[in-house]
């Protein structure tokens, strides 16, 4: 019995929650004239997208705060540990993306391995991740714009509400770029990414002249009592085990790895562009793994320079940034340069996050789990209706709502998707060993299992509050699925025996 037979609409399983959509059918769907995406992207474009979305404000702010408050000089090792976790997940993404070169990333992969219901859960999760992340980063972009403008604030007080017009502006511009074409977006992304990488390199080179080796000792500072919050504000791990918190020491190092992991979020967006990629079997693994390697080198270089320039205790507090360290050593012009680099960095982060959101929704709409009238592509080969819809939603969220602690929901959504993809590699190896794979994860099932364990560890270090919000969002998703999506799914069609 073939996979198509098992998942065809006339088989009883096709009516259940676990009806799968075959790899072959997923690939055939990419050739439908009305919903065809243009194949313009190369491995270089994908690498640029990956670097563009990962290098954001985190490298300019998160590094200093983590060094001063949690890990000391060992923050550089924390970045390496976080990169290893991301690397394990990246290997799994690379195999899936090269095997199933279809838009939708983890959503599409889950449809092929676990079935429609699991695919919906992952898709709903990705909607949370990308839309909320783009909104949060859009507000961050506006903050840095305010710093560069000085007294001219990118916000307008309208009485009952305050409109963050800076965030609305960047989202509107990026919406137009994405609707015009993915290739154009990649070119703009290349220019802006070159600027921000240049700023990062400049920071490393200039800062290197002020390194004092004595600042690296002790590399792992002695452990000190700390706090993980109380009630639902503490981590799930602390809540369940009753463990107290601490900073610095080995526990601080591991906690820092959990924290700085979120500076890597975004490389998985590369997989959402699979359907628009030339030679995806080769380009996707190169883009995913290449971008991760580049940002890891840059992150570690920045942390080594930062903790070498000043004693880590000088970076304590919530307001510390890279500019803090340069101010201490007398290089005051660095603050403006860092703000400019962060502004450039966040521009491409918003762009690629919105790109990922549109491609996931596109895949879901083509499958009928979202309204199919959203799926048609325009003359530029992009899903214009979905792009405009995403742009409006993100602009409203970024322009009118204080995002605040909801940022952590982005993190839990990402890790949840990582777990699904890692397990999916093991499942697909067993159910479809015959599929041609442009890239194969080494040492299966060991590597995917390690990826799952690493991601779960990071998830349980998120707050109970975040978990509760995540559960509520997923419950809303269940209602939408059973009320609308399951009945409108293309998998319910009975006139096409090939549909599976």
Query: Which residue did the predictor score with more confidence, 492 or 478?
Result: 478
Query: Does some domain include residue 74?
Result: yes
Query: Does some domain include residue 139?
Result: yes
Helix (H, G, I), strand (E, B) or coil at 115: coil
Query: Does some domain include residue 16?
Result: no
Q: Give the confidence band of 499 by pLDDT, cuts at 50, 70, 90.
A: very low
pLDDT per residue as tens digits for the range 67-106: 998 889 999 999 998 888 888 988 898 888 788 777 677 8
Whether the ω angle into residue 445 lies within 30 degrees of 0, i.e. cis, is yes
Nearest residue to 238 (alpha-carbon basis) of 219, 220, 258: 258
- Please give the model's pTM, rounded to 2 decimal places: 0.79
Confirm if 229 and 243 have CB atoms less than 8 A apart: no
CB neighbours of residue 225 within 10 Å? 8
pLDDT per residue as tens digits for the range 249-274: 887 787 788 778 767 877 777 776 76
Query: Does some domain include residue 27?
Result: no
Query: Which residue did the predictor score with more confidence, 4 or 427?
Result: 427
Query: Which residue did the predictor score with more confidence, 34 or 176?
Result: 176
Query: Among residues of the chain, what percentage have pLDDT more than 90?
Result: 25
Q: Is 64 exposed, middle or buried (0-12, 13-18, 19+ CB in 10 A)?
A: buried
Query: Which residue did the predictor score with more confidence, 247 or 391?
Result: 391
Q: Give the integer Cα–Cα distance in Å for 355 and 108.
A: 16
Query: Does some domain include residue 273?
Result: yes
For the segment 365-392, the average pLDDT, to the nearest whole number, is: 88
Whether the pLDDT of residue 498 is over 50: the answer is: no
Query: Does some domain include residue 130?
Result: yes
Q: Give the confidence band of 404 by pLDDT, cuts at 50, 70, 90.
A: low
Q: Whole domain around residue 177: which residue ranges?
A: 38-486
Number of domains observed in the structure of the chain: 1
Lowest mean pLDDT among 55-59, 161-165, 404-408: 404-408
The mean predicted confidence, pLDDT, of the chain is 81
97 sits in which H/E element: helix 75-99
Q: Give the confidence band of 386 by pLDDT, cuts at 50, 70, 90.
A: very high
pLDDT per residue as tens digits for the range 316-357: 887 677 778 888 888 878 878 887 887 877 887 888 789 889
Confirm if 26 and 108 have CB atoms less than 8 A apart: yes
Nearest residue to 17 (alpha-carbon basis) of 127, 125, 103, 110: 110
Beta carbons within 8 Å of 269's beta carbon, 6+ residues apart: 49, 50, 53, 105, 130, 352, 353, 355, 356
Query: Which residue did the predictor score with more confidence, 126 or 148?
Result: 126
Residue 9 has what pLDDT? Answer: 40
Q: How is residue 36 annotated by DSSP?
A: P
Confirm if 474 and 125 have CB atoms less than 8 A apart: yes
Handedness of CA 36, 40, 44, 48 (dihedral sign): negative
Q: What is the CATH number for 475? A: 1.20.1740.10
Query: Does some domain include residue 167?
Result: yes
For the CA atoms of 392, 398, 403, 406, the dihedral, rounded to the nearest 10 degrees, stands at 50
Query: Does some domain include residue 10?
Result: no
Q: Give the integer Cα–Cα distance in Å for 77 and 203.
A: 20
Q: Give the integer Cα–Cα distance in Å for 231 and 215.
A: 37
């Amino acid at each position: 019995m073939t996979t198509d037979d098992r998942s065809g609409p006339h088989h009883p399983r096709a009516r259940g929650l676990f009806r799968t959509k075959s790899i072959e059918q997923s690939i055939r769907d990419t050739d439908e004239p009305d919903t065809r995406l243009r194949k313009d992207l190369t491995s270089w474009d994908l690498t640029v997208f990956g670097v563009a979305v990962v290098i954001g404000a985190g490298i300019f702010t998160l590094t200093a705060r983590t060094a001063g408050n949690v890990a000391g000089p060992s923050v550089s090792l924390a970045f390496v540990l976080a990169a290893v976790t991301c690397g394990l997940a990246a290997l799994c993404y690379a195999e899936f993306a090269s095997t199933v070169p279809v838009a939708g990333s983890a959503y599409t992969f889950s449809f092929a391995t676990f079935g429609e219901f699991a695919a919906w859960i992952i898709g709903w999760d990705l909607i949370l991740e990308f839309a909320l992340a783009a909104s949060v980063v859009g507000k961050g972009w506006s903050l840095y714009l305010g710093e560069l403008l000085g007294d001219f604030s990118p916000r307008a007080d309208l009485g009952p509400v305050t409109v963050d017009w800076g965030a609305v502006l960047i989202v509107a511009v990026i919406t137009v770029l994405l609707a015009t074409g993915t290739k154009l977006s990649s070119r703009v992304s290349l220019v802006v990414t070159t600027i921000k990488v240049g700023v990062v390199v400049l920071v490393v080179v200039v800062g290197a002249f002020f390194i004092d080796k004595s600042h690296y000792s002790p590399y792992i500072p002695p452990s000190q009592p700390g706090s993980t919050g109380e009630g639902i504000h503490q981590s799930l791990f602390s809540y369940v085990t009753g463990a107290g918190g601490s900073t610095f020491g080995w526990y601080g190092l591991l906690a820092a790895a959990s924290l700085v992991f979120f500076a890597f979020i975004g490389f998985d967006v590369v997989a959402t562009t699979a359907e628009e990629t030339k030679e995806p079997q080769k380009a996707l693994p190169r883009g995913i793994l290449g971008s991760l390697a580049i940002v890891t080198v840059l992150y570690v270089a920045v942390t080594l320079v930062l903790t070498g320039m000043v004693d880590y205790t000088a970076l304590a507090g919530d307001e510390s940034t890279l500019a803090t360290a340069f101010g201490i050593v007398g290089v005051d012009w660095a603050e403006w340069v860092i703000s400019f680099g962060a502004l450039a960095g966040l521009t491409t982060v918003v762009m690629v996050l919105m790109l990922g959101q549109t491609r996931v929704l596109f895949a879901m709409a083509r499958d009928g789990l979202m309204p199919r009238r959203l799926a048609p592509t325009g003359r530029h080969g992009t899903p214009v209706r979905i792009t405009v819809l995403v742009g409006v939603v993100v602009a409203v969220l970024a322009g009118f709502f204080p995002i605040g602690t909801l940022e952590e929901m982005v993190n839990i959504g990402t890790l949840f998707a990582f777990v699904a993809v890692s397990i999916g590699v093991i499942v697909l190896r067993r159910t479809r060993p015959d599929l041609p794979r442009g890239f194969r994860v080494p040492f299966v099932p060991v590597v995917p299992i390690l990826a799952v364990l690493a991601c779960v560890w990071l998830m349980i270090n998120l707050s109970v509050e975040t978990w509760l919000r995540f559960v509520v969002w997923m419950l809303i998703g269940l209602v939408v699925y059973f009320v609308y999506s399951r009945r409108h799914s293309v998998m319910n069609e009975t006139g096409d025996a090939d549909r599976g």
